Structure 1
């Protein structure tokens, strides 16, 4: 590829790690977590999701199958993150350390089979903030570019002061943080029609990003490299309401120094919004240099044709190529 035609980079792709599933199977708390997840999704969703994952299992685990699928999509490079089902934020400290170490090492091994085409992210146990820096360092030591985190942990929002050392370390190392929610705390209100995902995921993105903005985390750590899945959820298209609250109410404006919309230009977003008009709006409010191609490979809530979905937004050609892969060149740098 020439500088004018950068490689096509998909920053939202997943790997399934059977080793992690085997590690946690039968442990205290695992069954309860699965039962909670089942209640929040509802039986109809589970009946569809099981066969869907089984059908996609080869693409999630076999590098040869993954590369063939990438070729069919016209994708040159994937940023591979563990399936969010591997977060296991219910786990105690000892189990949590085993989970993140195994997940980091297994993801690195998967990517090492095709190092020119696969880059990876690890995990950190957000339920144990005291382990977060150690887990991040472990991921980086495996050659991973950073870590994937959910929108919250039980009893803790991302604005919690306990995460300050983690943000500091991520900023210091230049690690990439991929914000990818798993589940939604609206619970059984979303337990039918797959609302747990269609409404829940963009809600969780918006809440998590709002905590990072309004609490001043992004003021204190301006060098954070944070990539939000699903186009940042509802926040970018409704950021005007946040700006209004920040200027109209002392309680809303007390924690951050600038209008909330200004922080969108400090964040990165994937392009997975399933609507060309919404994607154009995301590019408008965040900037064409802050949006990167994402597919949610290979799950059914992703897109089988990420480049085609991007082309449908009818962006200017320079913006199209920036989102398709140009922006990823700097964000996924090896140093």
Structure 2
């Protein structure tokens, strides 16, 4: 059976045919010649590869309005300019997604309205330009039963390829058993779940991340991704749902750097690994 460490190695090898980029949409492509109209091509080992940006946020203005907010980042609203920038950066396809941080604390009915509107609008965008955009659904994960229904609808009716969720749900870890219906549905559908951090407010409150460098983002975001993925491993969620397809934002946080330390903890301090895992954490 493939270990998580081997999976990381396979993912690196897969870059010969496909590449995943970060969320640098607003930056121009440094290698692009000014005024050049032709799409920039990415070549690996002499072969043209398809470049997919799985970390491609967007805004749906009507959904923001439902939540009582305004568009903060106009470049995240999908317009023809978006494809122009994609061409400049050499991005062939974007998996459009919406960060839930502006609506995930709303009441159930409002979350249901926002999610329905967002998913239908994103599906509409993807339907108009299917060769450049695919959609990752929004789900109201604070209400797991509703989230499972929304995921089913988004994939079956709207053709979404997966979903974006936060690294935690209003203080609840993704490994909490009450989220099992959602994970079961995601496994059954065979789609990818993109975990995007919501920061580490408990650490920010301590003041440790104050000062220069934007550490709330630079350290806080990958840290939450690391915590979320670690809980899914150590609490046995990935054992219960072995068919899950999960992508952690920002290169998986710090997790890829610590597989040996994770294994050593269970080997040397078994009292700290309270759930019997089917294989090593790595």
The corresponding residue for 1:228 is 248
CA distance in 1 between partners of 2:146 and 2:120 (Å): 17
TM-score, normalised by the number of residues in structure 1: 0.65
Answer 1 or 2: higher relative contact order, Cα 8 Å, separation at least 6: 1
CA displacement 1:212-252 (0-9 Å, x = unmatched): 00011111111101111100111111222211111112233
Call closer, same or farther: CA 1:126–1:157 in 2, change over 3 Å. Answer: same
TM-score, normalised by the number of residues in structure 2: 0.76
| Counterpart pick for 1:143 among 132, 151, 159 | 159
SS at match of 2:134: strand
**Structure 1 portions without partners, runs of 5+:** 27-49, 262-335
Please state how far the C-alpha of 1:80 moved relative to its aligned partner. Answer: 1.1
CA distance in 1 between partners of 2:141 and 2:100 (Å): 13
| Counterpart pick for 1:130 among 131, 145, 167 | 145
The corresponding residue for 1:111 is 126
1:151-162 residue pairs with structure 2 within 5 A? 151-162=167-178
The corresponding residue for 1:258 is 279
Between Structure 1 and Structure 2, the one with more helix by share is 1
Call closer, same or farther: CA 1:130–1:251 in 2, change over 3 Å. Answer: farther
Please state how far the C-alpha of 1:136 moved relative to its aligned partner. Answer: 0.7
| Counterpart pick for 1:210 among 222, 230, 239 | 230
Please state how far the C-alpha of 1:104 moved relative to its aligned partner. Answer: 0.9
The corresponding residue for 1:82 is 98
Contact 2:99 2:166 in 1 (8 A): no
CA distance in 1 between partners of 2:231 and 2:270 (Å): 16
**Structure 2 portions without partners, runs of 5+:** 1-16, 18-46
1:38-57 residue pairs with structure 2 within 5 A? 54=73, 57=74
Please state how far the C-alpha of 1:25 moved relative to its aligned partner. Answer: 0.8
Contact 2:58 2:78 in 1 (8 A): no
The corresponding residue for 2:116 is 101
Please state how far the C-alpha of 1:138 moved relative to its aligned partner. Answer: 2.1
**How many residue pairs are counted as aligned between the two chains?**
230
The corresponding residue for 1:13 is 56
Moved over 6 A (4+): none
CA RMSD of aligned residues (A): 1.9
Please state how far the C-alpha of 1:254 moved relative to its aligned partner. Answer: 3.1
SS at match of 1:121: strand
Contact 1:63 1:113 in 2 (8 A): no
**1:187 maps to 2:204:** yes
Please state how far the C-alpha of 1:164 moved relative to its aligned partner. Answer: 0.9
The corresponding residue for 2:44 is none
Between Structure 1 and Structure 2, the one with more strand by share is 2
Please state how far the C-alpha of 1:107 moved relative to its aligned partner. Answer: 1.4
